[in-house]
A and B are shown apart, each in its own frame.
Chain A
Amino acid sequence: MLCAVNLSKSYSDKPAVKNISLNVESGYITGLLGPNGAGKSTLLRMLNRIIIPDSGSITFKNKPLTHDMVKHFGYLPEERGLYRKMKAAEQVMFFAQLKGLTLADARKQTRFWFERLELDAAWNLKLEQLSKGMQQKVQFISTVVHNPELLILDEPFSGFDPVNVELITRELIQFKKSGKAIVLSTHNMENVEALCDCMEMIHKGQLMVSGNINTIRKQYTSNSYVIEYRGLPMAFANALWSAAEIVSQQPLHEPQMHRVTIKLAKSQTGRSVLNLINNAVEITYFKEALPTVREIFMNQIQHHKPLNA
């Protein structure tokens, strides 16, 4: 749906984004990860055409991105901003009309979203009269009220309490199911793991990791397994012998039950190790231990190996 190729942007000769390419597909949530100052917000602003890249190109549905196309996007900036003296519903309708809705449609959609997010009481209240959580909801509604095809969200969960995080997560999943494309930038790795299908990891303006999350996690696997067994730890260790190294071990609540994480020797596979220990103890759980997004993120930050280096 949205395709960016070799985007670069510098501020006063200091590069903020260097040759980043990404592809956003309908029905997928793409997570944009990176530490502070990595260039995430600059990239999102370029995707929204708020700023023009120094080089590179962006296409939307295979056509060069124009200002009118951006009206089909919904953008939630990191630092939220609404008119404090304006009434909540009036404000949402104003943004909806700017995105091309008629007044009647804007009112209808605003009504729908206010009911959906339980904001009816705030309809006629000024923004400054609302709690922070309610203001965040109004901002979210302003982003989605025109039923955009692509949602670009910069830190969408910051400032929300857990109940509202759940609420917004539910809405995002609903958007994904209805075939919308979503790009979200966040620091929260757990959000990415739970919500996103793909991730783009950026560091110092460069793309470090890109692709489907499960594929990436498998790519970064360290040949480790998590095993739960019933039996004697000594018997388990003897059975493994030189085939694997025990990384961690802990007893479980049931008698003689244990959970261990092992790292296989280079010549070994999961199946061969399973055969070795199967006669020594009773295996109840055996699964490859994939690295978390956080682990991949930290690893990338430490080693800094850009994809296009």
Chain B
Amino acid sequence: MREIYLIARREFKARLRNRAFIAMTFLSPLLLVGFFAFSVYMSQQDTTEHRILVVDDSKLFINRIANNGETFQFEFSTKKLIDAEQHFAAEGYTALLWISPNIIEGGAGACKLFYSKTPGYALQNHIRSQLEKIVYEEKLLANNIQPQIVSNARQHIQLILQQVGSSGTYADQDGISQLGFIMAALMFIFIMMYGMMVFRSVLEEKQSRIVEVLLTSVKPVKLLIGKISGIALLGILQFILMGVLTWSLSWGLQHSILKNQLITYDDFKHQQAEVFQKGSETDFSKLSRFDQQLELFSLFKKVETLAFFEIFSLFTLFFLSGFLFYSAIMSALASAADSDADAQQFLLPVNLPLIASYLIAVQGVINPDAELYAWASWIPFSAPVVMVSRITAGIPLYKALVSWLILSFSFLIVIFWSARIYHNGILNTGKKSRWRDFWHWSKKRI
């Protein structure tokens, strides 16, 4: 055990000081949360005041376009478009909205926004929605329908998917299965990245002949287990650090720029609960409207329904066993390589099942009932990538654990096979290894 510990500690320490490791551990959560925060912040921060001059040649919209507080103010002009276009900037307007006389008939160029100060997405969206609303109401009136009646009749419906789990619990699937793509991609990247660390490490020791000295002190199986476990521990440490950092940054985000949105979201949830409880007896006139925020609330809802701890734990377990399984194979292959060119050739058969697993996972998220998707969750070569993509979709815990046990047991078989190849391959220098050599080596005693 002591030798395994020493080898593992060396591998761990050597990589812990690596700049790439430090950068990835700390920058990834920062970038992830930062990007999310930036998106939310930018969507909320178009507070530049705009005075918009409107030349309405259709006469349909005069004094009907609503201001958005003091941010967007609309003033109507009776000037001709040519005059208005020449003078609007000088008169202190940031934009000029021209509405053509045939807007009700539709068609391209029915209205146009001239600007001196670039209009943000929020302004464009406001103008578009206002014009659409008024045109819509006009068309209803033209058909003798009161817009108020239609407005009252319209109701935004949120489709909530719930699957009855075999354990009797409900697993929310409110669109979060999309997260399966990300989980599968992350698992693919992590197994590949950490597997390559083992691969490179074995190759380095072989090429520099350190391995000869190591083998006088450590048995090949122990050397291999020490090397792989050192790098696995590094992976787990990186996960924990990234997890803690992401959680801390998210917490900070919730209590700073997302604070107000979250309070509104709470109101929305209370109102939803009330409607659900009272049904048709609800006094709808007293309800607040959240039309503008529904998209953001949908995102909050997805995040809220994720079982973070369970997902994080299962992801870590599958990463650990998946990494151990693949790195055992990769180390055996690296031991047989005599040059970097050989190494590339040997890597191909390992890359293929990983890539195939990812493709199966992607297809599986789109079509969860596909038979291949289910099978691939049990096969050790594809289980790590495919099973994690199913975790978010609410697969029963016992299924995930059985798959993990199969994967872990497979590792135990593979590691002894790998150690035999490793022992023979690592001392095979100056001669190109062939695939049939693997077969011979795997039968030799150590």
Query: How far in angstroms is the closest Cβ of chain A from B229?
Result: 16
**How many B residues, CB 8 Å from partner?**
22
Residues of A within 8 A of B6 (CB): 94, 97-98
Which residues from B are CB-within-8-Å of A230?
none
| Stretch of B66-74, B213-221, B230-238 with 4 or more beta carbons under 8 angstroms from chain A | B213-221
Interface bracket on A: 20 to 34
Cα A92 to Cα B51 in complex, Å, equals 75
| Interface presence of A45 (CB below 8 A) | yes
Residues of chain A contacted by B205 (CB below 8 angstroms): 81
B3 an interface residue at 8 Å Cβ cutoff?
A: yes
Which of A51, A67, A71, A142 is in CB contact (< 8 Å) with B213? A142
Stretch from A83-91, A169-177, A279-287, A299-307 contacting the other chain: A83-91
Given known pairs A71-B217, A98-B217, A99-B217, the reply for A77 and B14 (CB within 8 Å) is no
- Residues from chain A with a CB closer than 8 A to the CB of B214 are 98
Assess whether B216 is in contact with A48, with CB atoms less than 8 Å apart. Answer: yes
Contacts of A81 in B (CB 8 A): 205, 208-213
Query: For the complex, is A220 an interface residue (Cβ under 8 Å from B)?
Result: no
Q: Contact residues of A with B, CB < 8 Å?
A: 45, 48-52, 67, 70-71, 73, 75, 77, 79-86, 94-95, 97-99, 142
Known: A51-B427, A67-B219, A83-B14. A98 touches B3 (CB 8 A): yes
> Chain A contacts of B427 at CB under 8 A?
45, 50-51
* Residues in chain A near residue B445, CB distance under 8 A: 52
A95 in complex: contacting residue of B208, B209, B215, B217, CB < 8 Å: B217
- Closest Cβ of chain B to A150, distance in Å, is 11
Of A50, A71, A98, A99, the contact of B212 (CB 8 Å cutoff) = A50
Contact assessment for A73 and B216 in the assembled complex, using a CB-CB cutoff below 8 Å: yes
A51 CB to nearest B CB, Å? 6
Q: A79-B209, A81-B209, A81-B211 are in contact. Are A94 and B219 (CB under 8 A)?
A: no
Once the chains are docked, how many angstroms separate the CA of A80 from the CA of B218? 18
A-B contact pairs, 12 of them (CB 8 A): A50-B216, A52-B446, A70-B217, A77-B213, A79-B209, A81-B205, A81-B209, A82-B210, A84-B208, A86-B10, A97-B2, A98-B3
Report A144 CB to chain B, min CB distance, Å: 12
Residues of B within 8 A of A50 (CB): 212, 215-216, 427
A70 to B208, CA, bound (A): 22
Q: Is the Cβ of A98 less than 8 Å from the Cβ of B218?
A: yes
A45 contact set on B, CB distance < 8 A: 212, 427
- CB neighbours (8 Å) of A94 from chain B are 6, 10
Hey, which chain B residues are within 8 Å of A67, CB to CB? 219
Interface SS of chain A: helix, strand, loop or mixed?
Answer: loop
Kindly report which residue of chain A lies nearest to residue B220, judged by CB atoms.
A50
A78's closest neighbor in chain B, by CB?
B209
Q: Are B209 and A77 in contact (CB under 8 A)?
A: yes
Contacting residue for A70 out of B210, B216, B446, CB 8 A: B216
Query: Which of B209, B217, B445, B446 has the largest number of chain A CB atoms within 10 A?
Result: B217
Give chain B nearest CB distance to A128 CB in angstroms: 11
CB distance from A79 to the nearest CB of B (A): 4
How far in angstroms is the closest Cβ of chain B from A105? 14
User: Shortest CB–CB separation between residue B150 and chain A, in angstroms?
Assistant: 72
Interface pair A86/B14, CB less than 8 Å apart = yes
Q: With both chains docked as a complex, state the minimum distance between the C-beta of A285 and any C-beta of chain B, in angstroms.
A: 48
Chain A positions within 8 Å of B217 at CB level: 70-71, 95, 98-99
Q: Which of A52, A73, A82, A98 contacts B208 (CB 8 A)?
A: A82
Beta-carbon contact of B213 and A75 below 8 Å: yes
Asked if B14 and A85 make an inter-chain contact with CB atoms under 8 angstroms apart, the answer reads yes
Measured in the bound complex, the distance between the Cα atoms of B212 and A81 in whole Å is 8
Q: Which residue of A lies closest to B428 (CB)?
A: A11
The docked-state distance in angstroms from the alpha carbon of A176 to that of B60 is 109
Nearest CB on A from B25, distance (A):
19
The list of the 5 closest CB pairs from A to B, nearest first, reads: A81-B209, A81-B210, A98-B217, A81-B208, A79-B209
Q: Are B210 and A75 in contact (CB under 8 A)?
A: no
A86 cross-chain contacts in B, Cβ below 8 A:
10, 14
B134: min CB distance to chain A, Å: 69
Given contacts A45-B427, A71-B216, A84-B208, 16 further A-B contacts (CB under 8 A): A45-B212, A48-B216, A50-B427, A67-B219, A71-B217, A77-B212, A80-B209, A81-B208, A81-B212, A82-B208, A83-B14, A94-B10, A98-B217, A98-B218, A99-B217, A142-B213
* Contact assessment for B14 and A49 in the assembled complex, using a CB-CB cutoff below 8 Å: no
CB distance from A219 to the nearest CB of B (A): 35
Residue of B10, B209, B210 with most chain A CB atoms under a 10 A cut-off: B210
Report the minimal beta-carbon distance from B6 to chain A, rounded to whole angstroms: 5
Chain B residues within an 8 Å CB radius of A77: 209, 212-213
B322 to A: closest C-beta gap in Å: 28
Most buried by B among A48, A85, A94: A94
Chain A residue nearest to B9 (CB atoms) is A94
Closest Cβ of chain B to A126, distance in Å, is: 11
B-chain residues with CB within 8 Å of residue A49 when the two chains form the complex: 216
Closest to B3 in A: A98
Q: Which residues from chain B contact A98 at a C-beta distance below 8 Å?
A: 3, 6-7, 214, 217-218
Selected contact of A83 from candidates B3, B210, B218, CB within 8 Å? B210
C-alpha spacing A45/B3, complex, angstroms: 20
Shortest distance between the CB of A81 and any CB in chain B (Å): 4
Bound form: Cα–Cα A259–B325 in Å: 75
User: Min CB distance, B224 to chain A, in Å?
Assistant: 15
Residue of A nearest to B5 (CB): A97
CA distance A70 to B209 in the complex (A): 18
Distance in Å: Cβ of B231 to nearest Cβ of chain A: 15
* Smallest CB gap from A75: residue in B: B216
Residue of B nearest to A146 (CB): B217
Chain B hits for A52, CB < 8 A: 445-446
* Closest A residue, CB atoms, query B440: A12
Distance A227 CA – B347 CA, assembled complex (angstroms): 70
Please give, as numbers and ranges, the residues of chain A lying within 8 Å of B216 by CB-CB distance: 48-50, 70-71, 73, 75
Most buried by B among A49, A85, A98: A98
Which residue of chain A is the closest to B209 with respect to CB atoms?
A81
B213→A95 contact, CB < 8 A? yes
Chain A positions within 8 Å of B7 at CB level: 98
What is the CB-to-nearest-CB distance from B437 to chain A, in angstroms, rounded to a whole number?
A: 9
A235 to B341, CA, bound (A): 74
In whole angstroms, how far apart are the Cα atoms of A98 and B214 in the complex? 8
**Max chain B Cβ within 10 angstroms of own Cβ: one of A49, A73, A82, A83:** A83
Q: Which of the residues B208, B212, B219, B446 comes within 8 Å of A75, measured between beta carbons? A: B212
Chain B hits for A80, CB < 8 A: 209
Q: Mark B404-446, 1 if CB is under 8 A from A, else 0.
A: 0000000000000000000000010000000000000000011
